[in-house]
Structure 1
Amino acid sequence: MRPTPQVADWLLDSDPSIRWQVLRDLLDAPEPQWSIERDRVATEGWGARLLSHQDPDGQWARGAFFPADLTRELYEAEGQPWTATAWSLAQLREFGLPPDSEPARRTVELVGANARWDHDGQPYWEGEVEECINGRTVADGAYFGVDVSPIVERILGERMADGGWNCERERGSTRSSFDSTINVLEGLLEYESAGHGTPATRLARESGEEYLLRRGLFRRLTTGEPADADYLAAHYPTRWRYDVLRALDHFRAASRLTGTPPDDRLSDAIDLLRARQSDDDTWPLDGTPRGRVWFSIEETGRPSRWITLRAARVLRWWDEKS
């Protein structure tokens, strides 16, 4: 589906991080046109604002996963904060900060030199031990031009028997989770998109996708009921959390990269997405993760440009198959 002229104008009357993706994914603008908007992410709007909070050593909040000043009392009162380096890098990737821009190149170098994971002081671009964290680190590293192949090899060895991943594996979990799996899948797809895919990474990605497809993206295998009510809602930013729209957008991106058609087992998830569309042809923001942020992006319960962009491009891709 293409957005109506009114919705297209509304989407374009926004931040560069949204405008360039609307031009590319919904309006079929030529690359010279949308790349101009993408370049503005470094100097205008949310991208520039997030970069302005960067520490001199390239980190954010002086920490890799958690801010350096985080206390247990603050965590219990506010929830997990989203201001540290890992979350800021992932947000810049989603905004579309050009990897060859000066701020991106500088950030990659400084983070590599100065950031260490909270777990055991591991160098940032070597990853740590948790699959969710390493999946996102692969996505960020591959996007920004870092060699993250050692992390990828680790992830491949941590795939579970049912095809996906679970960051609780080291604590005894024997089954994959929706949340961990989508984080790893996005990392493997970004790695593949950067031209580093191998038969082993593609096989792992496809097995993780099959884990989700067998469940219709949101159902329990045992009962067919939704595994979690939150999976049916649309969130932004998603951070580490899973939802149906996030998964659908992954399958769209994978299909575009590989040239494979949409899988019919996505149809129930597509129906859910259509049902959430408002009468004005937009989609609302159902929620954002609790916790400290550098700044708010959109208001919960209101029409969301981020959700509308992602939903519209998913439906456009899906409808092209018929």
Structure 2
Amino acid sequence: MTLPAQLRDWLLDSDPVLRWQVQRDLLNEPEEVWEASRARLRTEGFAAKLLALQDADGQWAGGAFFPADFDFAGPEAADGAGQPWTATTWTLNSLRDWGLPAHALSATAELLAKNSRWEYDELPYWGGEVDCCINAWTLANGAWLGADVSGLATWFIEHQLTDGGWNCEWVTGATRSSFHSTLNSLSGILYYQAKHADADELSVTRHAAEEYLLQRSLLYRLGSGEMVGPWVARFAYPFRWFYSALRAVDYFRTAALHDGIAADPRLSEAIDLVRQAQQPDGRWLQEWRHPGRVWFDVDVPPGEPSKWLTFYALRVLQWWDEESPAPR
């Protein structure tokens, strides 16, 4: 895929956390080019701002999943208000997704082991808790920072539901998997496997969960064939914990490249949904914004062209058009 010059220049005129990925994944620039851009993350832009906000004890905002000042009975906790996105786990997720090298966080893994506890039962940070989404992010962040999270890898094998996926509400009796929970879990498991080549025991678990989504074409309820929810076709960045067709096909791109396999033809309807959202000028719009407290905005308001969503969509379509064996 050759990008029009205007679209290419627009994408490159961005924060280093995005620019280096555009250079690597869309423009196929030499490694020395995108690595030079990536090296700037530590000293400028969004990543550098988040690094400067880290507490002395290794946390952000004084808490593991919620800020230390979060009032669980207050207006910020009301339905629809949106949870804060400033605490440790959310900040680590951003830095990892942006490609910050782990050495930029030096002793963070040790500091969190010593100082951070989950709001649920005061459990130690790297041991995770009961929520599969939280455990998936902890699994990935631990693999990235070099913490021992092997116990969490086993946790996902032990807590996989019979239909193949996971549901964060399992602890209150849920027995059917959730699209959101399953995709978050898959992403954490895949990242862990990418860092631990000997984690073969997770492959069967991961492939079963992938099959859960593929059987549903990433979009539909298995029984009725209805779209599982309006959020499937609603694209927003940052992704947070929410499922969307774009985020799902991006996961399957990463998984296929990791496994060395071709694109599964059952992705085709989700790919079409992504393609249909492209604007006449070649860009994708920010469709909404997940409410909640943030350190600072990293993308545009709803209704405006999003460089992040355009990057993810173009990357997925480039892979699909080059690698998929299925007629479309």
TM-score (norm 2): 0.94
From the superposition, tell whether residues 84 and 235 of structure 1 become closer, same or farther in structure 2 (CA, over 3 Å).
same
1:171 maps to 2:143: no
- Partner residue of 1:73? 74
Higher relative contact order (CA 8 A, sep 6+): 1
For residue 310 of structure 2, what is the amino acid of its counterpart? T
The letter of the residue matching 2:173 is G
The runs of 5 or more residues in structure 2 that have no matched partner are: none
Corresponding residue of 2:183: 182
Residue 197 of structure 1, CA deviation: 4.7
Which residue in the other structure is 1:55 paired with? 55
**Unaligned stretches of 5+ in structure 1?**
none
Aligned amino acid, residue 85 of structure 1: T
| C-alpha displacement of 1:195 | 2.6
Task: String of CA shifts for 1:92-133, please: whole Å, max 9, x gaps.
Answer: 1111111123xx223223222211111011221111111110
Match of 2:306 in 1: 304
Q: Give secondary structure in 1 for the equivalent of 2:103.
A: coil
Give the letter aligned to residue 292 of structure 2. G
Determine what percentage of the aligned residue pairs are the same residue.
49
Does structure 2 conserve the Cα–Cα contact (< 8 Å) formed by 1:191 and 1:197?
no
What SS does the corresponding residue of 2:40 show, helix, strand or coil? helix
Instruction: Name the CA distance, whole Å, in 1 between partners of 2:43 and 2:168.
Output: 36
Equivalent of residue 93 in structure 1, options 87, 96, 106:
96
- Residues in 2 aligned to 1:74 and 1:48: alpha-carbon distance in whole angstroms: 31
Alignment of 1:1-322 (within 5 A): 1-71=1-71, 72-76=73-77, 78-101=81-104, 104-298=105-299, 299-321=301-323, 322=325
Partner SS for 2:106: helix
TM-score, normalisation: structure 1: 0.96
Letter in 1 for 2:59: Q
Residues in 2 aligned to 1:138 and 1:191: alpha-carbon distance in whole angstroms: 7
The CA distance in 2 between the partners of 1:197 and 1:134, in whole Å, is: 20
Cα distance between partner residues in 1 of 2:264 and 2:294: 36
- Deviations along 1:153-202, whole A, 9 cap, x unmatched? 01110000000000111111110000100111001100111134533201
Is the partner of 2:263 in helix, strand or coil?
coil
Q: In the TM superposition, what is the alpha-carbon distance from 1:300 to its structure 2 partner?
A: 1.7
CA contact (8 A) 1:152 1:188 kept: yes
Structure-2 change in CA distance of 1:142 and 1:2 (3 Å): farther
- Please list the CA deviations of residues 238-297 of structure 1 after superposition, one character each: whole Å capped at 9, or x if unmatched: 211111111111000111111110000000001101100011111111122111111111
Tell me the amino acid that sits aligned with residue 89 of structure 2: A
Report the CA distance between 1:6 and its aligned residue.
Answer: 1.3
Count of residue correspondences: 320
CA RMSD of aligned residues (A): 1.3
